[in-house]
Amino acid sequence: MHWTIAPTPVDSPEAAATIRGYVAELADRYYGRPATAEEVDEALGEEPDAGMAPPHGLFLLARTRGGTGADAGRDGSGSGAGTVAVGGVVGVVGCVGVQLLDAETAELRRVWVAPPVRGCGLADLLLAAAEDAARELGAGLMRLDTRRDLVEAKRLYVRHGYTETPPYNDSPYADHWFVKSLRLP
C-alpha cells in the first residue's frame, strides 16, 4: 500500500469533505441508522475543527500515491509515479488532527481510515504522524476521547501505549479518555 500523509488546511474543501464523511460514519453508528444531514451538521457544530490549524494544531490527510514499496514512507517522500488505487480508492483514504489544549498537551482528533483500506496499517501511520506533529507543536502529552462502540479505535490506542484516564472534557459523545506521554526515551 502506498500513501502520503501531509498537512492540509482544515478549512479546505477536501478536508471539510473528509471530516464530513468521517462524522457521517460516526453518526450512522451512533444512531444505528443512516444519519440525516441535519444530524451531521449538528455534530460538526458541537465539536468545531478550527483548533486543528497552525500555530496551535495541524490536520493531516492520507492519500493514495504511486510508486513501489521501496519508496513508500510515512512522510510521502520518494519518487512515486502516477496514481494508484488502494483498495479501490483513489485520493483521500484517511485523516487525523491534532490541537493543543495547552502548551504541553495536545489532543488527538478525527482519526479515520476509509473502509476499503482498513486493516492495512494506515491507522498506525496516521497515529504516528499525529504524535510527531504534536511533538513539533511542543506537546509532551497526548490526550484523546472516544466512544464505547468504537472498539477498533480503543484497540488502536491501547496497542500504541495509550492508557485510560479520568475524563478531561465534557464531550457528549465520549465514554473513554486516554493519555500518552510523547517524550521520547
| Three-state helix/strand/coil letters over the chain | CCEEEEECCCCCHHHHHHHHHHHHHHHHHHHCCCCCHHHHHHHHHHCCCCCCCCCCEEEEEEEECCCCHHHCCCCCCCCCCCCCCECCECCEEEEEEEEECCCCEEEEEEEEECHHHCCCCHHHHHHHHHHHHHHHCCCCEEEEEECCCCHHHHHHHHHCCCEEECCCCCCCCCCEEEEEECCCC
Burial class (CB in 10 A: 0-12, 13-18, 19+), 81: exposed
pLDDT tens for residues 67-113?
333 233 333 333 233 333 445 556 899 999 999 999 999 999 999 99
The chain-wide mean pLDDT, for the chain, equals: 87
Q: Say which residue, 70 or 136, is predicted with more confidence.
A: 136
Mean pLDDT across the stretch 29-49?
94
What lies within 8 Å, CB to CB, of 109 at 6+ separation is: 49, 52, 96, 97, 98, 99, 144
Q: Model-level pTM? A: 0.85
| Whole-number percent of the chain with pLDDT over 70 | 86
- Cell representation of residue 19: 471530516
In angstroms, how far apart are the furthest CA atoms of the chain? 47
- Cell representation of residue 152: 477498533
